[in-house]
Amino acid sequence: MARKRKSRRSFGRVRKLPSGRFQARYPGPDGVLRPADRTFATTTDADLWLAKKRVEIEEGRWIDPADGATTVRDWSARWLAAVAPQLKHKTRASYRSLIESRINPVLGDRELSSLRPITVTEWIGDMKGAGLSASRIRQAYRVLSQVMASAVDNELIGQTPCRGVRLPRMPQTEPHILTQVEVSRIVRSASAPHDLLIALLAFAGLRVGEAFALRRMDVDVPGCLLVVDENLAEANGALVFDTPKSHQKRVLTLAPSLAKRLGAYLDTLPGGDDALLFTNSFGRPLRYNQWRKAHFDPAIAAAGLSDVTPHDLRASHGTWVADRYGVMTAAHRLGHSNASVTTRHYARPVAGRDAEVAAASDAWLEGHADADGARRGHDDDDDGSAGVPARV
């Protein structure tokens, strides 16, 4: 009786190894035979693996294993070089620092395809155990996730290992929201011309870097306008002029009294249209830490206040404006492209507003309309209209 012929395998090859296990090989789209990434206990297991690989190729989901063998170090360097032209200088320097100090020392020599979610979780745990802050850990993770997402987009790996990973929680810190009276006291306590700089932070809502980068040409005294189109950032010890954080310039209306004070100051300022409004004693651009120690902190102490940062002035401005004129107006003045950022980080409830809402509700209950409603705001404040000082 003739033996039954063994059916010929339609895709790939399977052979038995000296160890008794089976090795599978398959032809890629380029026709080159490639071995499976593991061996199998039976030919059935090997055939099932080959069937899945064939479906991947036919559906266009196949990835060359050689691409996945690219190391994290090599791909992160290529990724950073590709995205660098679109990044702000400070962001670019931060990404490079995180890759060199946090990603490469641990993961740099690993192949992209070898990373799993547990690998990333262990990496985060090691950083936490080393005492890194939640902010620094989250920054490093964001960079790694962008690197790995790019590897997926470029078909080096099938999916990112940065998924389902729990990150350390950021501590909840609330900004110190000041009243206009308190801020005016700080302005009066500061030495000239830094009193004007502080006034711009509080009553125009500028970022510190934006205020440091202001030039004579940015101030329209007759029109009471200020153009914000530049930012001074410090990265790795170097000062760099760049676009504002949103990459968009904005035009702000200043309080007439503040514009008048700026005009008087400009009359004494040497240099041409591109002269910086605020510099150190040597005529050089300001550095944040030096300026704060020499001028800002002494003004805070002289005003009888404590625990106030320059950023608190910007947050206070956002709160004042949002409270009276709405979040969209506050977002414009703060230079936010998305009002949700303003709500999340800057606009805070103003003390006493809940009681005002309750009082208004009493009138509503009786059928009387309150035209101004809860946004009547700071009508009883000593400093004039919200967001601008009556006198600085």
SS3 string, 210-230, reads: HHHCCEHHHEECCCCEEEECC
List the one residue out of 172, 168, 94 whose CA is nearest residue 124: 168
* Percentage of the chain modeled with pLDDT above 70: 81
pLDDT at 350: 55
pLDDT bracket for residue 21 (50, 70, 90): very high
Position 227 pLDDT exceeds 50: yes
Token output for 178: 């000041």
pLDDT for position 89: 86
Higher pLDDT, 389 or 204: 204
What band does 51 get if pLDDT is binned at 50, 70 and 90?
confident
Tokens of 113: 């395809």
The DSSP result for 235-281, as a single string, is ETTEEEEE--TTS--EEEEPPHHHHHHHHHHHTT--S-TT-BS-B-T
Is the confidence at residue 341, as pLDDT, over 70?
no
Is residue 348 over pLDDT 90?
A: no
3-state secondary structure of 29: coil
Cis, bond preceding 298 (omega within 30 deg of 0): no
- What's the mean pLDDT in 213-218? 96
Q: What is the pLDDT of residue 349?
A: 57
The pLDDT assigned to 116 comes to: 94
| Structure confidence at residue 371 as a pLDDT band (50, 70, 90) | very low
pLDDT(53) > 90: no
DSSP code of residue 71: B
**pLDDT, mean of residues 262-291:** 95
Rounded average pLDDT over 359-387: 47
pLDDT at 390 over 60: no
Give the pLDDT confidence score for residue 55 in this predicted structure: 81
Mean pLDDT within 276-284: 94
| pLDDT exceeds 50 at position 385 | no
- Identify which of 232-246, 248-262, 371-385 has the greatest average pLDDT: 248-262
Give the pLDDT of residue 275: 96
Residue 100, φ and ψ in degrees, nearest 5 = -75, -35
Name the one residue in this structure whose structure tokens are 């004070």: 261
Query: E strands, the chain, where?
Result: 13-16, 22-27, 33-35, 219-220, 225-228, 231-235, 238-242, 250-253
Per-residue confidence band for 175, with pLDDT thresholds at 50, 70 and 90: confident
CA–CA separation, 389 vs 333, rounded Å?
16
Burial 18-43 (b: 16+ CB within 10 A, else e): eeeebbbebeeeeeeebebeeebeee
Rg of the chain in Å (alpha carbons): 31
Taking a C-beta distance cutoff of 8 angstroms, is the pair 45, 23 a contact?
Answer: no
**8 vs 26, higher pLDDT:** 26
pLDDT at 245: 74
Token couple for 302: 């002289």
Task: Determine whether 15 is exposed, middle or buried from the number of CB atoms within 10 Å of its CB (0-12, 13-18, 19+).
Answer: exposed
Q: What is the pLDDT of residue 68?
A: 61
User: What Cα–Cα distance (Å) separates residue 387 from each residue in 206, 252, 328?
Assistant: 12, 12, 15
Rounded alpha-carbon distances, angstroms, from residue 124 to 144, 157, 277, 322, 365: 11, 21, 44, 38, 55
Helices 256-266 and 194-203, packing angle to 10 deg: 150
356-367 per-residue burial string, b: 16 or more CB within 10 A, e: under 16: beeebeeeeeee
User: Letter for the amino acid at 145?
Assistant: S
Task: Give the rounded percent of residues in the chain with a pLDDT score beyond 90.
Answer: 52
For residue 264, the model assigns a pLDDT of: 96
pLDDT at 36: 83
Residue 291: the pLDDT is: 97
